[in-house]
Amino acid sequence: MAQSVLLIMHRKMLSDALIAQTSSDNRFKLTAEQNYAVAALTARACSPGIAVVEIPESGPWNSPEKCLEICDLIRQQLPSCKQVLLCSENDTESCRAAIQAKQESRVDDFLYYDNSVNYLYSKLEALIN
């Protein structure tokens, strides 16, 4: 059975690239949600095994704490869902928040979206094993 992955991402190009990368891989079923305001509801509806939450660099959701609140809601609703925070390595505040969130077990891992799509894909593969 395919692993359901929810991509809560402001960067549609990145979520589309990940979806395209996994389209021929029957181990994954990726769903993208660009509307952060309904992200926790979407997570509850699709019940993903993995949720990837991007801290965007612009817009109303560019606060690390706002994105971590989404992670907290998902953790409450779906405790077995693995969570990955995605941030820019050039955003010091987001990097610090991601490291602290990992140390506090608010998320299972974090990645920089400045990495290649292939690297992000390999991290998803590692999480399902």
All structural domains of the chain with their residue ranges: 31-117
pLDDT tens digits for range 90-123:
999 999 999 999 999 999 999 987 777 778 888 8
Rounded Cα distance, 105 and 108, in Å: 6
Rounded Cα distance, 81 and 59, in Å = 26
Q: What is the pTM of this model?
A: 0.92
What is the chain's alpha carbon radius of gyration, rounded to the nearest angstrom?
A: 13
Give the N- to C-terminal CA distance of the chain in Å, as an integer.
Answer: 13
pLDDT at 37 exceeding the cut of 80 = yes
DSSP state of 106: S
Please name the fold of domain 31-117: Rossmann fold (3.40.50)
